[in-house]
Amino acid sequence: MPVFSSKALYAVSHLISRRMGSEEAEAHEVADHLMRANLAGHDSHGVGMLPAYVRLFVEGLLVVNQTPETVLDFGALLVLDARRGYGQRMAANAVRRAIERARETGACVLALRNSSHIGRIGTYAELAAAQGMAFTAFVNVADHHDIQAPYACADARLGTNPFCTAVPGTDGGVAMMLDMATTTIAAGKARVAYNKGVPAPDGALIDADGNPTTDPAGLIRDHTGALVSFGKHKGSGLAIMAEIMATAIAGGQRADAEQKGGILNSMLAVVIDTARLGGVETVAREAAATRAHIKSARVAPGFAEILLPGDPERRYTAERLRAGIEVDETTCSDIRPAAA
Ligand code: NAD
């Protein structure tokens, strides 16, 4: 498989975004985000998204250099409509505004509506953590055919509706971060499996009749079947609440609204200034104590070790900075025409 440095992945994303018409700051934000997603091991949200972004742009479903509309700016409440703006920039700038507000008021409830795909949600938790803020977000996906089958459904009825929550560490990073799709695997991971010609993990997919399958072709090539919610009724319930928080509360587009074939994310995020709650040192110490307590357990049979949320991403980043990032042939050959 071809191996690239993170700098090379940044360069191709930056160039494509610039040619799409993004101004320098936006091209940088998008390229940096995609490169970091690949570094963190989330190839589903890295440079493999570029062909989709070019398609969305060509179809008028992703708007470069967009200015979000401020719908409400009232105390701790900040409501922005991104109007299909380039998601990585819309979300990063919205979270930066929320961080500033949280510094004044102690916390900010941010509603970001109708942004084009905002990518890896952990990126925004990391932005908040770098400023000593805790971060929690519920996100939905609309304008796209449904791909998540909630518990007991034989049909897809939601997007992959991610949930993310993180607390800051003393090193400017996160002390602990959970960042996940509410499906067993993110949709992009089914795409990566399809592109590599390997089966999806057991228990992640159903076919057109609602039966379990490991073949990602139905979902990715034929748009049939679905990804299933993780954790039975509990993960499914979290996905449903993410839909409701991002729509009924944040005002974003619902999954059942008319679909134009775009990828619209809406996010309800809460940013909390830990300086008002004992400070980053206290938060990091408490998180470290919880980590140590959990790691003191015996390792269960069949497992090599105990990992905590955020550990795999940290390891991937260290390893990929050292050895480079593999990008499969299909993804490379999809990026070439998009770049052209
Ligand atoms: P994942 O399953 O790889 O990881 C989910 C979480 O579990 C992470 O916090 C990770 O640190 C933790 N984890 C993984 N393995 C672990 C282990 N062995 N022990 C303990 N903890 C472990 O992630 P995913 O669900 O495939 O999501 C990938 C990315 O997709 C996320 O960054 C998410 O924000 C993003 N996403 C975005 C959208 C969107 O529409 N923008 C939709 C869905 C997902």
Which is it for strands 163-168 and 133-142: parallel, antiparallel or unpaired?
A: antiparallel
C-alpha 179 – ligand 1 centre gap (Å): 5
Q: Is residue 213 lining ligand 1, measured as CB closer than 6 Å?
A: no
Q: Is residue 318 lining ligand 1, measured as CB closer than 6 Å?
A: no
Per-residue pLDDT of 271-284, as tens digits, reads 999 999 999 999 99
Please tell me the residue having the least CA distance from ligand 1 atom 15. 312
Please tell me the residue having the least CA distance from ligand 1 atom 35. 120
> Quick one: which atom of ligand 1 is closest to the CA of 311?
11
pLDDT for 111: 98
> Quick one: which atom of ligand 1 is closest to the CA of 186?
26
Q: Is residue 310 lining ligand 1, measured as CB closer than 6 Å?
A: yes
What is the distance of C-alpha 163 from the center of its chain?
8
**Pocket probe mutation, ligand 1, options 158, 176, 179, max atoms within 8 Å of Cβ:** 179
Q: Is residue 178 lining ligand 1, measured as CB closer than 6 Å?
A: yes
Q: Is residue 126 lining ligand 1, measured as CB closer than 6 Å?
A: no
Per-residue pLDDT of 235-258, as tens digits, reads 999 999 999 999 999 999 999 999
14 class by beta-carbon count within 10 Å (0-12 exposed, 13-18 middle, 19+ buried): buried
Query: For the chain, what is the mean pLDDT?
Result: 97
pLDDT band at 4 (very low <50, low <70, confident <90, very high): very high
pLDDT for 113: 98
188 pLDDT above the threshold of 90: no
pLDDT for 124: 98
1 pLDDT above the threshold of 90: no
**Pocket probe mutation, ligand 1, options 180, 183, 308, max atoms within 8 Å of Cβ:** 180
CA distance 151 to 163: 17
Place of tokens 């944040």: 250
Q: Minimal CA–CA distance to 37: which of 87, 85, 84, 83?
A: 87
* Residue 58 to residues 61, 111, 186, 283, Cα–Cα distance (Å): 8, 27, 25, 45
Please tell me the residue having the least CA distance from ligand 1 atom 13. 309
pLDDT for 338: 93
* Residue 130 to residues 134, 249, 301, Cα–Cα distance (Å): 10, 27, 37
Q: Minimal CA–CA distance to 315: which of 20, 79, 40?
A: 40
- Taking residues 128-135, what's their average pLDDT? 98
Please tell me the residue having the least CA distance from ligand 1 atom 24. 180
C-alpha 72 – ligand 1 centre gap (Å): 31
pLDDT for 102: 98
pLDDT for 186: 87
Phi first, then psi: give them for residue 172, nearest 5 degrees. 85, 0
Q: Say if residues 65 and 26 touch (Cβ distance below 8 Å).
A: yes
Structure token digits, residue 118:
């905002």
300 pLDDT above the threshold of 90: yes
Structure token digits, residue 83:
């109007």
pLDDT for 43: 93
137 pLDDT above the threshold of 90: yes
pLDDT for 189: 87
